[in-house]
Chains A and B, each alone.
Chain A
Amino acid sequence: MVYTKKTPWVLIIGIIMCVYAWLVQQQYLAGVIKYLETDKLAGEMVTMGYIFGVIGIVVGLWQQFMQPKEGHLDYYLSTIGGALLILLCVFAVKYGAEPVFKAWGAAAGKSIGWDFAKTLGINYILLGIIVGMIVVNVFKVPTWAENGVRLSRLGLKTGVILLGALYSAAELAEYSKWSIGLIFVFVLGSVGITLFMGRRRNIPTSMAGVLSAGLGVCGVSATVASAPVVNAKSSEIAYSIGTILLWGILMMFIFPPVGRALGMTYEQFGAWAGTGILNSAQVAAAALIYQPNGIETLKVAEIFNITRILVLPIIVLWLAVWYVEREQTAAKVNLLHVIVGKFPLFVLGFIVLFLLSTTGMFAPSHHAGGKFFAGEKAKLLKDEQIVVLQKAATDRPETKAALDNLIANKRVMSKEDDVLLRGMEKAKETPKEIKAVLKDAHKNAWKTSPRIGWFRDLIIWFFAFGLTGLGMQITVKAITQAGGQPLIIGTTVGTIKAVGALIAVLLLKDLINP
């Protein structure tokens, strides 16, 4: 079968992207860019616009004028259209919709005192997912784009692998210590509560099985993995998956505003999302909605996510054993088969990149050691900024010490100080003018290696691509199947998990800073 659909759209999208890049490059859009305050993104607009625009034009022309023959070339090139459609959505929300909402939010903040864009955290990741959901549920993904939408998982996986390059050994050790602890408690806790509630409410063993995997481990993938193992009936599967999808979507939209309202740090939010949200894709989405242009939240959240993925085969095995004990008809499971079959290979890539990064391949080895903190040529804070800082107060002694250090030296002196002061900068109770000074101090101290900067930007692009494409796979039809006992149990366990994780993370506030 020939997969290429003859459509002018690939060519048209290519031309739109190129023309846009050209307009930006020639300063024709300078007025718009200035109004939307997107001048920082202008360089990216030009590069990305030309790269993908040229791809679109070449592939579009090929599809128009060549007779594609059946084979690999046809198959893989047929994905370009959908990929470009997703990218066009990302362009539109990142360079258009987000800045527009920001401007509207600011205007609303002045007139009615409520900056809705800021409070609700409207940014391009959130808008991208929403646009994706609208495309699939209202308009339907066009047939020429269907193949490309299925590339979104590839984008997410690549993003996770590349993320491995951005951890320091200390961070990874610290995060994974907490993630293993929290995931262990919350996975076992929710599996336990589900099984307990299931017994109390007299639901079939198989339904308790799929539900506990779905609510405990990682949402739909766990349900899908365990359904055949516990011989679930089709209606049980429909109820459970519907419930889990519904919860996933709700959490993805609710977590970020709540986190913002509580003034959580990036690390705290990442840990909370990583523990409390059911579906792994929505963990990444929530983390990026919380912090769309930085990577700190995503880094923490993904560690939690990966921990959870690695737990999945164990839970499936455990469920199999649990089910075999209860039902005579159940088939025996092959232990090795389950572990090998369910092991996510791409996690190895994450580990390899982390190992490579510890060799100093992506950043100078003294990068984390303090060169930029105690360096001779470091930029100092101005005297009037120091005056502002002297008014700052904190009741945490170690933060106080870091602050005194900063006031005395006019610059951040160590990585530990930097982390503490960033926490203060993010805290809700810190006054605005002090926040601004702390931000400057951090900027002066911290210089990102260009390679790391590139990785960071690329990772965010991969995730933006993957999550927008993922939005295009969320169908309302499936969600409306939520119901029955699974909805009751799911709501209870989901709420307990989200609130419990929130409390745990807030209690661990002081511990989670590496």
Chain B
Amino acid sequence: MSEQPKFNRGTALSIFKSDRMEDIMALLVSLGIVIVVVALVPIQ
């Protein structure tokens, strides 16, 4: 039975190995966006 392909899981919903990793990437992306917006867009 072990030679049968198992379910494709773990990465079925996310490209990252763990959810913590995905959360951290989301935090980094947001940080990048905040920096870009604050640097480029005037406040009023």
Contacts and interface: CB of A to CB of B under 8 A. Distances in A.
Interface of A: 75-76, 79, 147, 150-151, 153-154, 157-158, 161-162, 165, 344-346, 348-349, 353, 356, 361-364, 447, 449-451, 454-455, 458, 473
Contacts of A165: 34
Contact of A153 (B20, B22, B34): B22
Interface in B13-41: 13-16, 19-20, 22-27, 29-30, 33-34, 37-38, 41
Interface of B: 11-16, 19-20, 22-27, 29-30, 33-34, 37-38, 41-44
A138 to B, nearest CB: 20
A451 B23 contact: no
A357 B31 CA distance: 13
A451 B15 contact: no
Top-6 shortest CB links A-B: A345-B23, A157-B26, A161-B30, A346-B23, A349-B27, A158-B26
Given A364-B43, A450-B42, 10 more contacts: A75-B15, A76-B15, A153-B13, A154-B29, A157-B23, A349-B30, A361-B38, A449-B43, A450-B44, A451-B38
B43 A451 contact: yes
Contacts of B42: 450-451
Secondary structure at the B interface, as helix, strand, loop or mixed, is helix
A150 B38 contact: no
A353 B35 CA distance: 12
A346 B44 contact: no
Given A161-B30, A458-B33, A154 B22 contact: yes
Nearest to B20: A345
Contact of A154 (B25, B34, B41, B44): B25
A454 B25 contact: no
A35 to B, nearest CB: 32
Given A154-B26, A346-B27, A451-B43, A147 B15 contact: yes
B43 A162 contact: no
A473 B25 CA distance: 21
A333 to B, nearest CB: 19
B7 to A, nearest CB: 12
Nearest to B29: A158
Nearest to B25: A154
A158 to B, nearest CB: 5
Contacts of B11: 150
